[in-house]
Chain A
Amino acid sequence: MKLTFVTPRYGTAVIGGAETAARMLAERVAPRPGWEVEVLTSCALDHLTWENTEVAGTSVVGGVTVHRFPTASRRLLEYFELDGRLRVAPSAATLADARRWVALNGPVCPDLVDAVAGSDADVVACYPYLFATTVDAIAVSPAPVVLHPAAHDEPALYLPAFQRSFRGVDAFVYHTRAERQLMEHVFRLGDRPQVVLGLGVDEPAGTGRPGGELLGLGSRRYLCYLGRVDEHKGCQMLADFFARYKERHPGDLALAFVGPVSDRAPDHPDIVVTGTVDEDDKWDILAGAEVMVTPSAYESFSLVVLEAWTLGVPVLVNATCAATMEHCRRSGGGLWFDSYRSFEATVERLTGDPDVATSLGEAGRRYTERHFRWPAIVDRYTAFLEGVAARGRGAVLSAARLEAPRGGEAYTREGAA
């Protein structure tokens, strides 16, 4: 069985997000007897610029064959203008505008699309929904297409270009039930074969060093945020809420932001920002945390919640995030906040009542053990893909490719090029 992943960027340098989820799956399916796994991706690693920074051609990453193709264009400033215009009423956008948005969002890789069209794969798995590589691959793939949408409730999901594109999908793999409900509600594709798979969690690493020492906090207690430090992930809100909490609750409690910093790091005497850390340090810091907090409202799975639970650490999540709320409600392993008031009360409770923290952490651990261990996840995934391959390519092919954006001003992280 040959499985081809199509993903806009790929590699160990891509931290977090759906593309990492694709890599985790690819690297675990590849060693299975009878399975051949390859990845078709762009030469870009930066999803904001789509600059071709990797060498085109074939390499092996983590035991998986990776074919890289150049992007036809860097991201243009026109994208931001069109995005601002369409996001007010995305479902009312014209199909032409919506397809233009997808092309501008990129990455448009004509050679990659040719490779999909000529692929001898038994199944093509696209991951995630949002990018031009996915829309183009769905349009031209001769093999059955499985889409891992990694979707959450955001304006782009309602653009008519996706409505049309997804008719060409043969089956769906979801991270959570909430994601399935969202996708089915928006696209009315409930009849398509699907599986709610999620992702697996590795056995905790770490060296047993006290997390407080690694953070320079000594024996102080701390809350932990794990992931990209980014305003859109709710990090600034978390920092502001925590600062307010400390004004009202003076004490030794600290907050650690652990992960690469995209936006300006929160500045507060009780807040530590580590930047990127290695796996051992990550697990040691997590193990020592009183609570792991995920303030983001836009998660399609949130692996870090499950990683915290493997260590019995309770979590605190944003009540408007369907995915993390689903984890908490199904497991009984975490609390949620929907205002500063509830943030304050839940932090107070989790840090002040060891019985509650222990009970929640243990409930989360049981949930993770039961549903999210890799061997079982890969068994279910491969069985599902075999079923999809057996059903064959039944969905509607469109064959209409996106046109690569030309001639505009390129975006750079510093501003206009």
Chain B
Amino acid sequence: MPTPPAATPPETAADGSAAPPQGAADGVDYLDQVMAEIDAEVRRRRASGDLPAGLERELDELFLEFSPVGLQGRARLRETLALVDGAAYVDIAVPVASEKPIGTYVKRLLRTGLGWYLRYIVDQVVKFAWAVSRMLHVVVDHVEELEAAVESTRSPDLPVEVARTGEPATDWWRPVAIEALAGVAGRVVHGDCGDGSLVAALVAAGVDAYGVDPSEPALAAALDDGLDVRAEPVLDHLEVVADEALGGLVLSGSVQWLRPNERQRLVDLAASRLTPGGVLVLHSATPASWAAGAPTLVRDLAPGRPLHAGTWAFLLAGRGFSVAAPLTGGPDRTLARVGASTPDADTVNAAIDAINELLLGPGAYLLVATRER
């Protein structure tokens, strides 16, 4: 039996022997490397056929017998289907061996006597099982084709570590958000809560707040402070919240670069998860400031783009929200007017005003929307 090829340990000591990984990330990377090598070895051995097929199936069935059904279906679709195929045949040649000589005779007699009856029944059972098996093959083929098609059209997520660099550095909007959420009935969740500073501020203001964020490292400080924060994207989180369970919802960060279908799903979820009278607070960079100021990696890799405040207001109003006029803020990106002593000052200032109005303007906006009762 060949030994699987060895992963190179993440670090090597001076004498050439393997040294353990130093950090958690190193350990996980090393684990992935070792498991990849083992998986490759398992595939090689399966292909070699060094275990009789019947025995291998028997051992696989033994494993699946004690595995959760859901996991079997998701992770092992083809293998589970092979087990269905194997079980679709019903053998009526009942074993007749017995420890007692008369036993074998009696069993053989019973098998012969009942064979005509069992065959009639079993033929129908096997036909049904094979029909079901064929149907499952068609379904699995179809599912895999669909998965491949969907995967080929799906734009990748914005990597979390890249997304962090694209968030506005200012927190001008937070006092407004806290004021809007103070006194709401029910819990308030901050999607993309980062280090949890807004959650902490809301809690300090007497709001029953918690947070979610896709980046686990970003949450470390909030967890140490005992805040209720969880490592998951806001869309995933809203899926597991009951209807009308939330008093408030704060959206920032990833709301700026959602895909169109995700954006619509988010609006639908916000409408259903907030109680009547619940408050939604949405903070986003303006499209112009994002296009001009967001890091190039974010702009290039983001699957979507920020919307104008008016577009969000339109979408939210369509789902039963009453939307207040947007507030603007963020870094002052406007060009300063020149002094009167500058030659052609009036002409230059007119041009600056036009540039400020058309191209620059405020860096970010805040929308406060209330779910109508």
Residues of A within 8 A of B (CB): 152-154, 177, 180, 184-185, 188-191, 193-195, 232, 234, 237, 240-241, 244, 248-249, 295-298, 318, 320, 322, 328-333, 335-336, 338-342, 344-346, 348-349, 352-353, 355-356, 358-360, 362-363, 366-367, 370, 380, 383-384, 387, 391
Tally chain B residues at the interface, Cβ within 8 Å: 60
With a CB–CB cut-off of 8 A, which chain B residues contact A353? 6
Which residue of B24, B71, B186 is within 8 Å of A332 (Cβ)? B24
Taking a contact as CB atoms under 8 Å apart, the answer to whether A339 and B30 are in contact is no
With a CB–CB cut-off of 8 A, which chain B residues contact A193? 210, 228
Chain B residue with the shortest CB-CB distance to A346: B38
In whole angstroms, what is the CA distance A159 to B260 when docked? 37
Q: A341-B56, A348-B3, A363-B27 are in contact. Are A297 and B38 (CB under 8 A)?
A: no
Binds A, one of B152-160, B192-200, B239-247: B239-247
Taking a contact as CB atoms under 8 Å apart, the answer to whether A348 and B1 are in contact is yes
Q: Does B145 contact A (CB under 8 A)?
A: no
Q: A193-B210, A380-B226 are in contact. Are A339 and B59 (CB under 8 A)?
A: yes
Binds A, one of B61-69, B127-135, B175-183, B338-346: B61-69
Binds A, one of B14-22, B164-172, B301-309, B316-324: B14-22
Q: Does B7 contact A (CB under 8 A)?
A: yes
Which residue of A185, A332, A342, A383 is within 8 Å of B27 (Cβ)? A332
Taking a contact as CB atoms under 8 Å apart, the answer to whether B34 and A190 are in contact is no
In whole angstroms, what is the CA distance A159 to B124 when docked? 34
Taking a contact as CB atoms under 8 Å apart, the answer to whether A320 and B68 are in contact is yes
Binds A, one of B41-49, B96-104, B106-114: B41-49
Q: Does B259 contact A (CB under 8 A)?
A: no
With a CB–CB cut-off of 8 A, which chain A residues contact B1? 248-249, 348
> Measured between C-beta atoms, what is the minimum distance from A235 to chain B in Å?
10
Which residue of A153, A349, A367 is within 8 Å of B70 (Cβ)? A153
Taking a contact as CB atoms under 8 Å apart, the answer to whether A356 and B242 are in contact is no
Give the A-B contact count at a CB cut-off of 8 A. 163
Q: A194-B228, A349-B4 are in contact. Are A359 and B242 (CB under 8 A)?
A: no
> Can you name 11 A-B pairs with beta carbons within 8 Å?
A153-B70, A189-B241, A190-B238, A191-B187, A193-B228, A340-B60, A341-B45, A342-B39, A358-B20, A360-B34, A363-B24
In whole angstroms, what is the CA distance A209 to B207 when docked? 57
Q: A329-B28, A363-B31 are in contact. Are A190 and B21 (CB under 8 A)?
A: no
Which residue of A332, A348, A362 is within 8 Å of B28 (Cβ)? A332
- 5 smallest CB-CB distances across A and B, nearest first, come from A332-B27, A363-B27, A355-B18, A340-B59, A190-B240
In whole angstroms, what is the CA distance A344 to B66 when docked? 18
Taking a contact as CB atoms under 8 Å apart, the answer to whether B245 and A191 are in contact is yes
Q: Does B35 contact A (CB under 8 A)?
A: yes
Main secondary structure of the interface of A (DSSP, over half): helix
With a CB–CB cut-off of 8 A, which chain B residues contact A244? 59
Taking a contact as CB atoms under 8 Å apart, the answer to whether B63 and A359 are in contact is no
Taking a contact as CB atoms under 8 Å apart, the answer to whether A363 and B240 are in contact is no
Taking a contact as CB atoms under 8 Å apart, the answer to whether B3 and A359 are in contact is no
Taking a contact as CB atoms under 8 Å apart, the answer to whether B60 and A339 are in contact is yes
Which residue of A237, A358, A387 is within 8 Å of B62 (Cβ)? A237
Q: Does B276 contact A (CB under 8 A)?
A: no
With a CB–CB cut-off of 8 A, which chain B residues contact A177? 231
Taking a contact as CB atoms under 8 Å apart, the answer to whether B71 and A352 are in contact is no
Taking a contact as CB atoms under 8 Å apart, the answer to whether B38 and A349 are in contact is yes
Q: A190-B237, A339-B60, A359-B20 are in contact. Are A318 and B27 (CB under 8 A)?
A: no
With a CB–CB cut-off of 8 A, which chain B residues contact A352? 3
With a CB–CB cut-off of 8 A, which chain B residues contact A387? 226
> Measured between C-beta atoms, what is the minimum distance from A336 to chain B in Å?
8
> Measured between C-beta atoms, what is the minimum distance from A40 to chain B in Å?
27
In whole angstroms, what is the CA distance A406 to B158 when docked? 59
> Measured between C-beta atoms, what is the minimum distance from A413 to chain B in Å?
22
Q: A340-B56, A348-B3 are in contact. Are A328 and B45 (CB under 8 A)?
A: no
With a CB–CB cut-off of 8 A, which chain A residues contact B56? 340-341
Q: A190-B240, A340-B60 are in contact. Are A335 and B24 (CB under 8 A)?
A: no
Taking a contact as CB atoms under 8 Å apart, the answer to whether B18 and A358 are in contact is yes
